[in-house]
Each structure stands twice: as C-alpha cells, then as structure tokens.
Amino acid sequence: MIPMIMRLKIVDKGRKKINLFFPVVFIWILLAALLIVLLPIALVVALLSWGRGGKLVLAVYPMLGSLLWNLSDLAIEIGSRRDNSYFSLYFS
C-alpha cells in the first residue's frame, strides 16, 4: 500500500521526545496528476525511439508505481552515541 503518513521522531536524552506526523497523500495526488500529464509525452518519445530504448521509457511508469507501493513500512533510523540523540523517519 502506498504510505499515507510520514512520522518524524526525534529523541534526545534529557529532553522531551518530538513526534511529528506529515500527511504524504497530498504529494501522491500531485505526483499522479504530473504523471498523467506527462504520459502522452512519454508515449510519443517511446514511439520515436522504439529501436534505441523506447521500451525503457514505457517501463518507467510500472517501475515508479512499484517503488512507491513498496515504500510503506520503510524506516530510516539514525543515532549518535556521542550526543545520545536518536532520529527516525517512518512511512506508514
């Protein structure tokens, strides 16, 4: 499933935790509109360059969809031993 919320969590030892939630669904709506607008241009480019890699141009749309679909449950965690701080970014 495409992630709809991004959570940013910052933990600093001795300070209060910070949890921020960002709705990512608006970015997906804008990206979908951009892909729909660019589809005719991609089709024309693919047809004009069919012998020289036009198939790759047509493969970009399914690859991008697969990439976005698999972003859910992605976690990026960064920690520092020296500062005892912790930064994490979750897509869900």
Distance from the Cα of residue 37 to its chain's centroid:
19
Specify the amino acid at residue 35. Answer: L
Nearest to 4 by CA among 85, 90, 64: 90
The H-or-E segment that residue 26 falls in is helix 25-48
Structural domains in the chain (count): 1
33-64 confidence digits (pLDDT tens): 999 999 999 999 999 998 888 888 888 888 98
15 contacts 36 by C-beta, under 8 angstroms: no
Global confidence as pTM: 0.64
66-84 confidence digits (pLDDT tens): 888 888 888 888 887 777 7
Question: Which range marks the domain in which residue 43 is found?
Answer: 5-91
Taking CA atoms, 45 is separated from 9, 37, 49, 59, 63, in Å, by 43, 14, 6, 12, 17
Specify the amino acid at residue 41. Answer: I
How many C-beta neighbours within 10 Å does residue 31 have? 12
